[in-house]
Amino acid sequence: MNKLSIFWFRRDLRIEDNHGLFEALSQSEKVIPVFIFDTDILSHLPSKKDRRVQLIWDALSEMKEVLKTQHQTKLLILHGKPTELIPSLAKSTGAEAVFINTDYEPATILRDQTVEKELAKSGIQFHSFKDHVIFHRNEITKEDGKPYVVFTPYSRSWKKKLTTEQTQHFNSESLLHKLTFPEETRSFNLISDLKQIGFESADVSISGTRTQGLNFLSDFSGRIQKYGDLRDFPSKKGVSYLSPYLRFGMIGIRECVRMAKSGSSVGSEKWLGELIWRDFYSQILWHFPHAVKESFNPVYKNLVFPNDEKKFKAWCDGKTGFPIVDAAMRQLNQTGWMHNRLRMVAASFLVKDLHIDWRWGEQYFADILIDFDLTSNNGGWQWAASTGCDAQPYFRIFNPELQSERFDPDGTFIKKYIPELKNVPAKFIHCPSMMSESDQLLYKCKIGDNYPEPVVNHKEAKVFALELFKKR
Ligand SMILES: Cc1cc2nc3c(=O)[nH]c(=O)nc-3n(C[C@H](O)[C@H](O)[C@H](O)COP(=O)(O)OP(=O)(O)OC[C@H]3O[C@@H](n4cnc5c(N)ncnc54)[C@H](O)[C@@H]3O)c2cc1C
């Protein structure tokens, strides 16, 4: 039993059912809970009003309040480099061990190794636990021990291997009295306001608190049986909207899997499948870190994209003249979130219609998504670009107009984000440039004036994309 340990919160911003925290409390007499706003991460954020920082702040504020009112202790919030602050905090408080939940992204693996080495110099232990995923590293492999790169057999194996052990509830309630805030921590610059780290409150339609995450979870549990039928329609309330909470850990993956397993509907089985995609992409980047920067499939490593900057800007701004793509991009810009069907359509459009390197789009999503997760974002982009594992074959190219007709038949979603098209009837909403001059007058939408002409001709763009992939 350690006399004093540190639990370092990262992407697991909850007290309940937190594996690493539970282990820290079980194996120590006292535990200092700490979160660090990592300057190496913050310095790369494109805006000082970053929505992710706001969500993290919401979660921390609620945790702080719970610790203060229910457990008469504090959460230490710091700002700086964890590679310096964690060893420094451990040494100055005399902590014997640092506990974390494992992170699987190449950059964070490196950071954690640096912290571990630094701590080891002073004889301080470093313990890491699985919390962010159900199965990690080599836990699910093919019979020959190699990683799966195709989803369906991975998923089958995942389901076969799942027992109650992986979804167990780590209940720390009776141990929380061990949380402490020793005198020595007062020499650290504690953060009590976003301004102290150079950020401002950001406009987010949701709160990042666990309470709000639990509300989403509970709301979704009443709709989960319809998930399979509604999940592809962006104007319908079909999905869970839990991704930001899963990203930062206000809601844990085990809670979600327990919920999915407690139902027996087609919807709950389908939703479980999506949670498995999350594990799948996490293990892919862990096994194949080259995919962070390069095409997963080496065959497409040297694709040459024309990368027209004007077209890229039109895509970013939601002004391509393709309503479903534009509405999707405006949803992203306005809310920081985009529906999964639309992520697939917008990503495919960028690569296969505008012929822009998937990494440009991946970075744009990374800058804005409130649920940005390197593994899922990279996996999703490489899927759409046909460069990934188990990806969309390069010759299967989404037709944006048909996707629009199928998944937003009456244009409800499009009109929500493109008010210029609000009077346009369903027969033109998927392709407003088909309107005659008199239709444009009638529906108060002049193409090229109120709403842009299509930036490309889909049929021609498709031919070009096929050539580009064939040439590689
Ligand atoms: C180009 C592209 C980029 C993406 N970028 C991200 C990202 O940065 N972060 C992210 O969390 N998801 C990403 N996804 C996956 C998916 O779009 C989102 O997880 C989903 O839209 C989140 O909404 P939800 O929570 O309502 O999902 P639900 O449909 O309710 O699914 C529940 C959970 O399952 C997981 N999940 C669902 N679909 C996928 C998937 N295809 N891959 C991996 N996990 C999945 C998510 O954690 C999600 O919260 C991306 C997909 C594409 C095509």
Q: Is 280 in the pocket of ligand 1 (CB under 6 A)?
A: no
pLDDT band of residue 36 (cuts 50, 70, 90) is very high
Q: Is 384 in the pocket of ligand 1 (CB under 6 A)?
A: yes
Q: Is 348 in the pocket of ligand 1 (CB under 6 A)?
A: no
Out of 340, 344, 381, mutate this one to test ligand 1's pocket (max ligand atoms within 8 Å of CB): namely 340
**Chain segment 51-60, per-residue pLDDT in tens:** 999 999 999 9
Q: Is 344 in the pocket of ligand 1 (CB under 6 A)?
A: yes
**Chain segment 249-275, per-residue pLDDT in tens:** 999 999 999 999 998 899 999 999 999
**Chain segment 182-194, per-residue pLDDT in tens:** 999 989 999 999 9
**Nearest Cα to Cα of residue 124 among 91, 77, 173:** 91
Question: What is the spatial distance between Cα 463 and Cα 469, in angstroms, rounded to a whole number?
Answer: 10
Copy the structure tokens of residue 168.
């167990």
Rounded to an integer, what is the distance from CA 317 to the centroid of its chain?
Answer: 21
Residues 6+ apart with CB under 8 A from 75: 9, 33, 34, 35, 60, 63, 64, 67
Query: What pLDDT, on the 0 to 100 scale, is given for residue 264?
Result: 87
Q: How far is the CA of 182 from the centre of ligand 1 (A)?
A: 40
Domain spans, the chain? 1-130, 133-170+210-287, 298-471
User: Exposed/middle/buried for 322, CB within 10 Å: 0-12, 13-18, 19+?
Assistant: buried
Across the beta sheet with 125-129, the strand order is 76-80, 28-38, 2-9, 97-101, 125-129
pLDDT band of residue 397 (cuts 50, 70, 90) is very high
**Chain segment 370-385, per-residue pLDDT in tens:** 999 999 999 999 999 9
pLDDT band of residue 391 (cuts 50, 70, 90) is confident
Query: What pLDDT, on the 0 to 100 scale, is given for residue 471?
Result: 87
Query: What pLDDT, on the 0 to 100 scale, is given for residue 279?
Result: 98
Question: What is the spatial distance between Cα 111 and Cα 130, in angstroms, rounded to a whole number?
Answer: 17
Query: What pLDDT, on the 0 to 100 scale, is given for residue 93?
Result: 97
Instruction: Name the class of domain 1-130.
Output: alpha beta
Query: What pLDDT, on the 0 to 100 scale, is given for residue 359?
Result: 98
CB 300 within 8 A of CB 114: no
CB 79 within 8 A of CB 189: yes
CB 12 within 8 A of CB 22: no
Q: Is 273 in the pocket of ligand 1 (CB under 6 A)?
A: no
pLDDT averaged over every residue in the chain: 97
Element (H, E) at 340: helix 340-348
Q: CATH number for 298-471: choose from 1.10.10.350, 1.10.579.10, 3.40.50.300, 3.40.50.720.
A: 1.10.579.10
Taking the model in full, what pTM does it have? 0.97
Whether pLDDT at 392 is above 90:
no
CB 173 within 8 A of CB 26: no
Copy the structure tokens of residue 213.
């995450």
Query: Kindly report the CA angle at 263 between 132 and 390, in degrees rounded to 5?
Result: 50
User: Exposed/middle/buried for 218, CB within 10 Å: 0-12, 13-18, 19+?
Assistant: exposed
- Residue 218's identity, in one-letter code, is S
Specify the CATH number of the domain 133-170+210-287.
1.25.40.80
